[in-house]
């Protein structure tokens, strides 16, 4: 590779353009593998300027791939691209336009915009289309070009060529995503294009464009509904059908006519068409099923009653082999569920969490004879269908994230709108316990003592233990629903007592529910069925291995249960009671002693406080004598046990409080929250640090190891659900059909829960003479036939008619839903308005999403075509002032230049006069010289003649 790069470096320096172009093409190929070619940017520019089209194309390819806004030679490409844009050869012009779309910078866009606008009137539709598209890239780089170029761009909507019109609609659609108000005047023209239906792609873009315009102009809704309904009913293109329905939903067209009969009819048509996506996608294309579920998820917010009609088809998608379709179907099911369909939907989802419940969905192939297919065909089959093997079926393994999403969805469906869909809270408690048993293993981030946040995935509770959400619901039901509080306490007691069986040490799926369970058994300790067993479970040595948050709750719950067991004031203080209380106190002290030096500050603080309290209680119990059986003197229990400790937890009942109620509580006068509690805290910390320097190394190792070294997470193992009913799961039959109505509680609840429900129902109805019981419940006493009450019927005085009279048939009234009182949140003032306002503010502060191509178009946000925006008004004034200053300097320079020119012309005239005078003087001198020469010549001739005459005379 180095030799090849060295060879390319030598070849690009060649004077032969063919060799140079070949070297640039090699560098382009190597650049795709990560080798930098920015050093050859000037050589690329040389190839771009080649007169040969093939070489020029190589140069533009290299420029589009290697040039950036920071490239030094980019400013040298302006004149080159201008020359290529004005070429008479259309492919060369198209090549320049394509290159501009990739390397355009703000300055390059401003310089090339006049040339690009001139190409909008080119004779070739191919050039006009490319010029329209490249203008959008120029607008992104220099938004001020939009105002000057918009009139010419708008004229392209009336172009005679359909491809140019489609490209213009595409650009306008992208521009309208940022500021749709600028393009409302185009509504009549766009509506005409929508009704003409030249091609499906342009129709899809027009529907998206109208979806952004209708929120600004509601009157467009009535105008757009007839053509869109016609498109939905007549088109055979699935893409166009989906975009029509999506445009109706996202553009607010269905919401605008929601209360009318026309709106209901249109919504019904849309839901029916989308149902076809789900049915057709089963055997043809999973993408259709995905987009259909996506559109139904948007539609369920306004027309949930129409979507719920097709819940049988939607629930089939929950069992789809494609996990992405399962996620979308799960999101849709959460939105469409109601009070009638909640038990069936929850049962369908819980069955997915059971081990090996997907036997009916597994795909298998028949054994094939050897030699029927070649090895290549076998490999292709394995690649295309990885779940299929020859002669056997592989089970579908659901990812742990999906299982967490299922549990979170069940909790969300049941708790929505303050449990509006839950009619039987005992059933809901059974479901919560069932979810705990099927909770997936905890992730690595939640195995330690603290739960750290992770990035959001497809599931709502990815990376977290679902036991925390289930425990929150268990606590909410116990606090809010007073009628089932005893059942909730019994479930919490079961979770705390059977912790070792339900939550294995490895994995720990659902273990965080123990925090809520510990709070419930402590807060409602008087409702415990076996407080001694619960306290023993809390004091078990294995509790020391729990996370610090759960352990702190356990420490708080221990004295509450202790107050119930030992704080009976009316009970006599007998030796057995004294020994029992002393034993309990010693157990608690033994449990709290190692926690008094815990590295966790919360656990340490609570353990130290209660440890001192129970040490005092132990001393009081030991010093207080017990009352003997035959003694005359009676002794009461210590007041510390009967009054002091119970008095710490007695008072007003805890009620749910609104999350934002605390901020409305006024501060008491004289309270300064900014004032330090201890003004010498800084000095104490410095002294403690100095003391720690002289401390032994062994004493400091444990402290620093806990605080400054991250704990190694334990490897996640199998969930607790795999150890429950393992024998029954092996012989699990096929899943019952949802459409046939065979879904029962036996399909998704464990046997122990069903047996307990049967036993409770039998106990509740055992004295009811009108209750026809079944078989004897296991674990209960045999039925005594003699104890059955017999009623004597006296029929002597009753007149029985010989012919029975026909009685009118009376329809049985529908069983009314039992009304359950649910406690609401307590707050000060109107908490709902503030909550909604804060949620709206939070949504407005969210970062805007980029498009699929990751193009940053934030510069076009709020850019007006008519008047400058307020944000740019000051800048425009500065520009105007600068222009005036430039004009003033230009005028002064022109006047100075005029003075210079005038002076120069004056001097020139003087020089001309001098030259003429000199020339004239030179001419006169020459004439005089000529005359003198002529005279001298005459005189010479005459003198010669005279001399000759004199000689003749003398001779």
Given this model, what pLDDT does residue 490 score?
Answer: 93
For the cut 80, the answer to whether the pLDDT of residue 321 exceeds it is yes
Cβ(377)–Cβ(462) under 8 Å? no
Q: For residues 380 and 792, what is the distance between their CA atoms, to the nearest angstrom? A: 81
Region 236-253 average pLDDT:
84
Q: What confidence tier does 825 reach under pLDDT thresholds 50, 70, 90?
A: confident
Look at residue 688 and tell me whether its pLDDT is greater than 70. Answer: yes
User: 716 in helix, strand or coil?
Assistant: coil
Model confidence over 277-309: pLDDT tens digits? 888 554 467 888 888 889 898 888 888 888 888
Q: How confident is the model at residue 637 (pLDDT cuts 50, 70, 90)?
A: confident
Q: What pLDDT score does 549 carry?
A: 92
What is the 8-class DSSP label of residue 213? H
Highest mean pLDDT among 231-235, 329-333, 454-458, 759-763: 329-333
164 pLDDT more than 90: yes
Each residue's pLDDT tens digit, 646-665: 888 887 778 888 888 878 88
Give the pLDDT of residue 918. Answer: 66
Neighbours of 77 (CB within 10 A): 26
Nearest residue to 72 (alpha-carbon basis) of 96, 38, 98, 104: 38
* Burial tier of 792 (Cβ tally within 10 Å: 0-12, 13-18, 19+): exposed
pLDDT (average), residues 43-56: 91
Per-residue pLDDT band for 358 (boundaries 50, 70, 90) equals very low
Q: What is the pLDDT of residues 550-584, one digit of tens each?
A: 999 999 999 999 999 988 878 888 888 889 999 99
Model confidence pLDDT, tens digit, residues 493-537: 999 988 877 765 445 577 889 999 999 999 999 999 999 999 999
Least confident of 370-384, 469-483, 515-529, 593-607: 370-384
- What number is the average pLDDT over the span 775-800? 51
Q: What is the pLDDT of residue 236?
A: 86
Q: 720: pLDDT confidence band, cut at 50, 70 and 90? A: very low
What span, in angstroms and rounded, lies between the C-alpha atoms of 640 and 566? 10
HSE-up of residue 227 (Cα within 13 Å, Cβ side): 19
Measured over all CA atoms, what is the biggest interatomic distance in the chain, rounded to whole angstroms?
220
The CA distance from 777 to 235, in Å, is 62
What is the spatial distance between Cα 420 and Cα 435, in angstroms, rounded to a whole number? 20
Q: What is the pLDDT of residues 362-400, one digit of tens each?
A: 433 344 444 444 444 444 444 444 444 444 445 567 888
Q: What is residue 593's predicted lDDT score, i.e. its pLDDT?
A: 94
> Does the structure show a pLDDT above 50 at 452?
no
- Identify the CA nearest to 521 among candidates 508, 537, 509: 537
pLDDT of the residue at 538? 93
CA distance linking residue 439 with residue 755, whole number of Å: 22
- CA gap 258, 70 in Å, rounded: 53
**Distance of alpha carbon 458 from alpha carbon 413, whole angstroms:** 17
Closest Cα partner for 547 from 466, 480, 603, 478? Answer: 603
- Return the pLDDT at 851: 47
For the chain, give the mean pLDDT: 76
At residue 117 the predicted structure's pLDDT band, cuts being 50, 70 and 90, is very high
Q: Which residue has the higher pLDDT, 755 or 323?
A: 323
| Contacts (Cβ under 8 Å, ≥6 apart) of 705 | none
Q: Is 754 exposed, middle or buried (0-12, 13-18, 19+ CB in 10 A)?
A: middle
Q: Is the pLDDT higher at 182 or at 833?
A: 182
| Weakest mean pLDDT among 292-296, 925-929, 949-953 | 949-953
- Kindly report which listed range (48-57, 294-303, 634-643, 721-730) carries the lowest average pLDDT score: 721-730
Q: Are 103 and 127 in contact (CB under 8 A)?
A: no
The arithmetic mean of pLDDT across residues 183-200, rounded, is 87
**Does pLDDT of 942 surpass 60?**
no
| Cα of 258 vs its chain's centroid, Å | 29
How high is the pLDDT of residue 130? 94
Q: How far apart are the first and last CA of the chain?
A: 121
**Band of pLDDT at residue 820, cut at 50, 70 and 90:** confident
| Per-residue confidence (pLDDT) for residue 266, from 0 to 100 | 84
């Amino acid at each position: 590779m180095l030799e090849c790069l060295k060879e390319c470096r030598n070849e690009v320096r060649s004077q032969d353009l063919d060799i140079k172009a070949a070297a640039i093409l090699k560098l382009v190929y190597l650049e795709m593998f990560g080798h930098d070619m920015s050093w050859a940017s000037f050589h690329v520019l040389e190839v771009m300027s080649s007169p040969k089209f093939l070489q020029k194309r190589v140069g533009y390819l290299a420029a589009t791939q290697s040039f950036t806004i920071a490239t030094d030679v980019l400013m040298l490409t302006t004149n080159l691209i201008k020359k290529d844009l004005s070429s008479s050869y259309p492919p060369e012009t198209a090549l320049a336009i394509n290159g501009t779309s990739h390397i355009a910078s703000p300055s390059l866009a401003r310089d090339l915009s006049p040339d690009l606008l001139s190409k909008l009137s080119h004779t070739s539709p191919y050039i006009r289309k490319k010029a329209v598209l490249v203008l959008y890239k120029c607008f992104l780089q220099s938004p001020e070009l939009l105002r000057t170029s918009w009139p010419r761009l708008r004229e392209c909507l009336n172009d005679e060529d359909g491809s140019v019109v489609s490209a213009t609609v595409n650009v306008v659609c992208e521009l309208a995503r940022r500021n749709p108000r600028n393009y409302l005047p185009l509504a009549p023209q766009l509506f005409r294009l929508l009704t003409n239906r030249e091609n499906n792609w342009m129709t899809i873009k027009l529907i998206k464009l109208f979806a952004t315009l209708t929120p600004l102009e509601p009157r467009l809704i009535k105008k757009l509904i007839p053509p869109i309904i016609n498109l939905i009913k007549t088109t055979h293109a699935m893409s166009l059908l989906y975009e029509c329905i999506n445009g109706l939903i996202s553009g607010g067209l269905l919401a605008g006519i929601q209360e009318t009969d026309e709106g209901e009819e249109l919504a019904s048509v849309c839901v029916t068409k989308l149902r076809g996506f789900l049915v057709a996608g089963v055997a043809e294309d999973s993408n259709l099923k995905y987009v259909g579920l996506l559109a139904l998820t948007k539609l369920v917010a306004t027309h949930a009653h129409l979507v719920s009609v097709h819940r049988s088809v939607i629930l089939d998608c929950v069992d789809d082999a494609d996990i992405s379709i399962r996620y979308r179907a799960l999101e849709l099911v959460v939105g469409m569920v109601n009070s009638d369909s909640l038990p069936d939907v929850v049962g369908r989802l819980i069955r997915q969490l059971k081990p090996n419940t997907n036997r009916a969905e597994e795909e298998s192939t028949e054994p094939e004879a050897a030699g029927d297919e070649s090895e290549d065909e076998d490999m292709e089959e394995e690649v295309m269908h990885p779940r299929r093997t020859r002669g056997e079926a592989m089970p579908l393994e659901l990812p742990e994230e999906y299982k967490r999403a299922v549990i979170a969805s069940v909790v969300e469906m049941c708790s929505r709108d303050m449990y509006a869909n839950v009619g039987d809270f005992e059933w809901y408690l059974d479901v919560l316990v069932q979810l705990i048993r099927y909770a997936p293993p905890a992730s690595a981030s939640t195995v330690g003592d603290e739960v750290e946040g992770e990035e959001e995935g497809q599931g709502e509770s990815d990376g977290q233990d679902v036991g925390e959400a289930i425990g929150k619901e268990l606590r909410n039901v116990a606090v809010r629903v007073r009628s089932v509080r005893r059942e909730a306490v019994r479930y919490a007691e079961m979770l705390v007592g059977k912790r070792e069986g339900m939550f294995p040490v490895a994995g720990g799926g659902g273990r965080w529910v123990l925090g809520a369970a510990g709070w419930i058994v402590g807060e409602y300790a008087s409702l415990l069925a076996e407080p001694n067993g619960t306290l023993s479970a809390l004091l078990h040595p294995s509790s020391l291995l729990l996370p610090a948050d759960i352990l702190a709750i356990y420490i708080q719950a221990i004295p509450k249960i202790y107050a119930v067991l030992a704080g009976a004031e009316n009970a006599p203080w007998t030796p057995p009671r004294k020994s029992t209380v002393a034993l309990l106190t010693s157990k608690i002290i033994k449990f709290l002693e190692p926690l008094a030096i815990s590295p966790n500050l919360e656990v340490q603080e609570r353990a130290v406080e209660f440890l001192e309290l129970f040490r005092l209680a132990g001393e009081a119990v030991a010093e207080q004598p017990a009352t003997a059986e035959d003694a005359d003197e009676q002794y009461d229990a210590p007041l510390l046990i009967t009054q002091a400790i119970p008095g710490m937890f007695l008072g007003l009942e805890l009620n749910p409080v609104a999350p934002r109620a605390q901020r409305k509580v006024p501060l008491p006068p004289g309270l300064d929250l900014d004032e330090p509690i201890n003004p010498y805290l800084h000095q104490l910390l410095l002294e403690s640090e100095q003391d720690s320097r002289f401390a032994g190394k062994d004493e400091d190792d444990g402290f620093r190891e806990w605080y400054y070294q991250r704990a190694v997470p334990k490897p996640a193992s199998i969930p607790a659900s795999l150890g429950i009913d393992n024998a029954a799961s092996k012989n699990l039959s096929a899943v019952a059909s949802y459409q046939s109505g065979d879904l029962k509680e036996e399909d998704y609840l464990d046997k122990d829960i069903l047996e307990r429900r049967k036993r409770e129902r039998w106990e509740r109805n055992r004295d009811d003479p009108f209750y026809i019981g079944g078989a004897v419940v296991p674990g209960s006493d045999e039925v005594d036939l003699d104890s059955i009450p017999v009623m004597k019927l006296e029929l002597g005085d009753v007149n029985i008619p010989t012919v029975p009279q026909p009685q009118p048939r009376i329809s049985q009234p529908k069983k009314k839903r039992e009304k359950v009182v649910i406690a609401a949140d307590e707050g000060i003032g109107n908490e709902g308005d503030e909550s909604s306002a804060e949620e709206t503010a939070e949504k407005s502060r969210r970062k805007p999403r980029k498009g699929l191509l990751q193009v940053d178009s934030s510069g076009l946000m709020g850019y007006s075509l008519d008047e400058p925006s307020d944000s740019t008004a000051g800048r425009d004034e500065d520009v105007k002032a600068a222009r005036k200053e430039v004009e003033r300097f230009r005028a002064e320079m022109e006047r100075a230049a005029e003075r210079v020119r005038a002076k120069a012309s004056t001097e020139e005239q003087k020089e001309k006069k001098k030259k003429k005078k000199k020339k004239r003087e030179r001419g006169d001198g020459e004439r005089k010289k000529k005359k003198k020469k002529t005279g001298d010549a005459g005189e010479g001739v005459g003198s010669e003649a005279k001399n000759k005459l004199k000689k003749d005379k003398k001779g």
